[in-house]
């Protein structure tokens, strides 16, 4: 009897936990795509495509939106991409790591890394546009509710966005608890408004038939695929499903989509379409005009809060992606603050925060309306979607070993649809879309330069002399040995750090215990402690240590070495690490231009500037400041 009760209690607890995660996923994951009804239909019919809001146009566009949600979001992301989890973590960086794991050819791995960097760079551009267009479209409800104060839309949007960035340092833990319930209310309102509209014109439900999507091209032969550049606004938050998987898991995200988000979105789009069938002039703002008069101001307030939540989710995603890129060595080290003692994934990166704020403010001031911003929105996110499909194809075929008869039709469909959307949005380059693309090119150049520069630097700061050879040479001319432990950080395990050689050359002294530490980033998000440290013992008090951290972990090297030291049993060789008797030796390089080919001169200067601006090793590896000695040297790149 007791066992049965315990089983029911455990099952009830599991259901409660799953429900809580599902509600939280509604708030964090679907904020972006959930605010798309604010502007999508309006931009389709007022975007200068010559499409009329008649029966054919409305039903055709609704059909395109409906089947885009089904194919791109439901089938591709929810049912397939979410399976590509790297120990529970998702996002373009995690997918790149998985794809690299599936191939062995060096040039193919390099191509996959370049694809991943391009996708990440484009996502940063999207991270600037999403808050700007979402908040602007919500505040523009004032123009409908009370036209005399319409001129306050831009100042109010700027005030909301600046306040959002200013308060980022406080962390998202407190606000995050409100995300789920508020966004759940938002989706309930979307569904209720949709039903309200559909009841007035139920014939709109015929848009479920995909023939209406095909018919729109027959009825409007001059439109072509360019119409997809506005339809894409309905699916621009799809990438967030995968990026936020590490916070909630695949099942809660999928349940939130099928139970809450998809029904609410479809109902609202169809409700707006029903309104347009009855009142074509409502195209000026079909979302707010769908609401009854008494509900207009509450919807403006609720929409504003919902877009703030959507913006918060995008900003948090930018922090997480930046942190992963730092761990993989794609961008310079930055100061990272952990804003929650309970959730290690909640971080704040000041540099990213202020750069994003500058970009968002510039977009709002420069474009002034959601309509103008919509002309720039889509090219970055569709580029990322296409890159995701290309990386996914490597994972499905090489890592998952799916049979070709099952994988090729799906992958072909995904790539063709993504290419269709991307091609349709290329025209936006001449209407503001160049902004996110240029931002992406700049970021891609920075990341590529840093990655290449670090590879050259690590190659040239070491020496080809093996550790065993150094030990033999020291026996012929023994230096003075002092008590204690010296730790020398080395970028690569097979080379001797330059700081060690400089210390021997100039100080002619060596500690009685010398530990060479190489820190490596693993392509898994988290590592168990037994997997973290590998030690190789040499003669005369020399040790070589490799410390690994997952790409979501903090690189606390002293903590890792202390834990490893405590884990040694009596049967194992002792590991001599005592924090207060250890001196950490770091090298600080000054770059000079090399005569041999390395990088272009402008890239050398850029890398030198980035190296000087990077967060230093002492802080990044959490070394005790009073136990660190830095030795400088000049390095040719």
CATH number, domain of 292, equals: 1.20.1740.10
Question: Which of 114-128, 250-264, 509-523, 572-586 has the highest mean predicted lDDT (pLDDT)?
Answer: 250-264
The pairing of beta strand 347-348 with beta strand 337-338:
antiparallel
- What share of the chain has pLDDT > 70, as a percent? 90
**Residue 189 falls within a domain, yes or no?**
yes
pLDDT at residue 603, rounded to an integer: 85
Beta strands in 244-309 (DSSP E): none
**Residue 11 falls within a domain, yes or no?**
no
**Residue 4 falls within a domain, yes or no?**
no
| Measured distance CA(607)–CA(611) in Å, rounded | 6
* pLDDT above 60 (res 341): no
**Residue 1 falls within a domain, yes or no?**
no
**Residue 621: domain span:** 463-636
User: Which pLDDT tens digit goes with each residue over 347-384?
Assistant: 788 999 999 999 899 989 988 888 888 877 888 889 99
pTM of the shown model:
0.82
Helix locations, 528-600, DSSP H:
557-567
* pLDDT above 90 (res 501): no
pLDDT at residue 254, rounded to an integer: 92
**Residue 508 falls within a domain, yes or no?**
yes
Concatenating the DSSP letter of every residue in 162-188 gives HHHHHGGGG-SHHHHHHHHHHHHHHHH
Q: Do 253 and 245 form a contact (C-beta atoms < 8 A)?
A: yes
Query: What residues have CB less than 8 Å from 217, skipping those under 6 apart?
Result: 223, 224
Domain closes at, from 450, 472, 490: 450
| Measured distance CA(23)–CA(178) in Å, rounded | 10
Domain closes at, from 402, 419, 450: 450
**Same domain for 430 and 380:** yes
**Same domain for 526 and 406:** no
pLDDT at residue 463, rounded to an integer: 61
Mean pLDDT in the chain?
84
- At 339, the pLDDT band (50, 70, 90 cuts) reads low
Q: Which letter, b or e, does each residue of 545-579 get, where b requires 16 or more Cβ atoms within 10 Å of its Cβ?
A: bbbbbbbbbbbbbbebbbebbeeeeeeeeebebee
**Residue 8 falls within a domain, yes or no?**
no
Higher per-residue pLDDT: 628 or 14: 628
Domain closes at, from 418, 450, 482: 450
User: Which pLDDT tens digit goes with each residue over 265-299?
Assistant: 999 999 999 999 999 999 989 999 999 989 999 99
* pLDDT above 50 (res 12): no
**Same domain for 275 and 407:** yes
pLDDT at residue 602, rounded to an integer: 84
pLDDT at residue 475, rounded to an integer: 83
pLDDT at residue 620, rounded to an integer: 84
* pLDDT above 70 (res 345): no
**Same domain for 351 and 249:** yes
**Mean of pLDDT values over 457-486:** 78
- At 3, the pLDDT band (50, 70, 90 cuts) reads very low
Query: What residues have CB less than 8 Å from 482, skipping those under 6 apart?
Result: 509, 510, 511, 512
pLDDT at residue 346, rounded to an integer: 67
Concatenating the DSSP letter of every residue in 192-257 gives HHHHHHHHH-GGGGGGGSTHHHHHHHHH-TTTGGGGHHHHGGGSTTHHHHHHTHHHH-HHHHHHHI
In the chain, how many domains are there? Answer: 2
Query: What residues have CB less than 8 Å from 345, skipping those under 6 apart?
Result: 246, 247, 320, 552
CA torsion through residues 509, 515, 518, 519, sign? negative
**Same domain for 499 and 414:** no
* pLDDT above 60 (res 343): no
**Mean of pLDDT values over 518-525:** 83
**Residue 378 falls within a domain, yes or no?**
yes
**Same domain for 440 and 365:** yes
pLDDT at residue 10, rounded to an integer: 42
User: Which pLDDT tens digit goes with each residue over 148-179?
Assistant: 877 888 899 999 999 889 888 776 555 555 67
User: Which pLDDT tens digit goes with each residue over 546-579?
Assistant: 999 887 788 889 989 888 888 876 556 566 677 7
**Same domain for 306 and 284:** yes
Strand order in the sheet with 582-592: 533-537, 542-549, 509-521, 480-489, 582-592, 628-636
**Same domain for 401 and 273:** yes
- At 637, the pLDDT band (50, 70, 90 cuts) reads low
**Same domain for 471 and 438:** no
| Measured distance CA(229)–CA(402) in Å, rounded | 33
pLDDT at residue 288, rounded to an integer: 92
pLDDT at residue 465, rounded to an integer: 67
**Same domain for 428 and 484:** no
pLDDT at residue 596, rounded to an integer: 60
pLDDT at residue 198, rounded to an integer: 96
**Same domain for 178 and 73:** yes
**Residue 457 falls within a domain, yes or no?**
no
**Same domain for 183 and 138:** yes
- At 313, the pLDDT band (50, 70, 90 cuts) reads confident
pLDDT at residue 593, rounded to an integer: 64
């Amino acid at each position: 009897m007791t066992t049965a009760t315990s089983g029911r209690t455990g099952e009830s607890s599991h259901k409660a936990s799953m429900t809580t995660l599902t509600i939280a996923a509604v708030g964090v994951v679907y904020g972006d795509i959930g605010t798309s009804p604010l502007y999508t239909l309006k931009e389709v019919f007022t975007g200068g495509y010559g499409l009329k809001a008649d029966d054919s146009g409305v039903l055709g566009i609704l059909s395109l939106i409906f089947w885009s949600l089904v194919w791109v979001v439901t089938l591709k992301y929810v049912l397939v991409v979410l399976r590509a989890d790297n120990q529970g973590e998702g996002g373009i960086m995690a997918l790149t790591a998985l794809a690299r794991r599936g191939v062995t050819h060096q040039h193919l791995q390099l191509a996959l890394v370049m694809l991943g960097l391009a996708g990440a760079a484009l996502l940063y551009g999207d991270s600037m546009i999403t808050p700007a267009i979402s908040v602007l479209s919500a505040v523009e409800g004032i123009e409908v509710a009370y036209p005399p104060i319409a001129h306050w839309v831009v100042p109010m949007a700027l005030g909301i966005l600046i306040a959002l960035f200013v308060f980022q340092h406080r962390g998202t833990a407190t606000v995050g608890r409100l995300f789920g319930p508020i966004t759940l209310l938002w989706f309930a309102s979307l569904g209720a408004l949709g039903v309200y509209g559909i009841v007035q014109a139920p014939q709109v439900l015929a848009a479920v038939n995909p023939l209406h999507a095909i018919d729109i091209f027959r009825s409007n032969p001059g439109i072509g695929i360019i119409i997809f550049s506005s339809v894409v606004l309905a699916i621009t938050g799809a990438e967030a499903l995968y990026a936020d998987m590490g916070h909630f898991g695949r099942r809660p995200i999928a349940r939130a989509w099928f139970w809450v988000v998809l029904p609410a979105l479809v109902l609202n789009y169809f409700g707006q379409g029903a309104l347009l069938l009855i009142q074509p002039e409502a195209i000026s703002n079909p979302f707010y005009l769908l609401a009854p008069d008494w509900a207009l101001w509450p919807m403006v307030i609720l929409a504003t809060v919902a877009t703030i939540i959507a913006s918060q989710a995008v900003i948090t995603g930018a922090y997480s992606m930046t942190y992963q890129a730092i761990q993989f060595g794609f961008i310079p080290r930055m100061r990272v603050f952990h804003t929650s003692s309970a959730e290690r994934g909640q971080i704040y990166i000041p540099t990213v925060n202020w750069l994003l704020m500058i970009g968002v403010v510039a977009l709002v001031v420069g474009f002034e309306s959601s309509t103008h911003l919509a002309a720039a929105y889509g090219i970055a996110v569709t580029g990322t979607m296409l890159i995701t499909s290309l990386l996914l194809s490597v994972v499905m075929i090489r890592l998952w070993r799916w049979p070709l008869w099952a994988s090729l039709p799906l992958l072909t469909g995904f790539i063709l649809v993504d290419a269709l959307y991307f091609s349709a949005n290329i025209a936006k380059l001449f209407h503001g879309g160049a902004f996110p693309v240029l931002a992406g090119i700049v970021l891609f150049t920075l990341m590529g330069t840093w990655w290449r520069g670090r590879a050259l630097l690590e190659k040239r700061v070491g020496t080809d002399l093996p550790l065993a050879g150094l030990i033999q040479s020291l026996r012929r001319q023994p230096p003075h040995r002092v008590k204690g432990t010296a730790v020398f950080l080395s970028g690569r395990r097979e080379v001797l750090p330059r700081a060690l050689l400089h210390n021997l050359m100039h100080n002619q002294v060596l500690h009685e215990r010398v530990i060479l530490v190489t820190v490596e980033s693993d392509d898994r998000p988290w590592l168990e402690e037994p997997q973290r440290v590998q030690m190789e013992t040499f003669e005369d008090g020399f040790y070589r240590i490799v410390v690994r951290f997952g790409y979501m972990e903090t690189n606390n090297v002293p903590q890792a070495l202390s834990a490893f030291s405590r884990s040694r049993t009596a049967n194992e060789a002792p590991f001599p690490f005592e924090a207060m008797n250890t001196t950490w030796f770091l090298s600080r390089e000054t770059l000079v231009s090399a005569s041999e080919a390395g990088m272009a001169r402008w890239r050398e200067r850029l890398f030198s500037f980035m190296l000087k601006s990077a967060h230093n090793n002492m802080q990044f590896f959490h070394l005790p400041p009073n136990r660190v000695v830095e030795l400088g040297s000049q390095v040719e790149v």
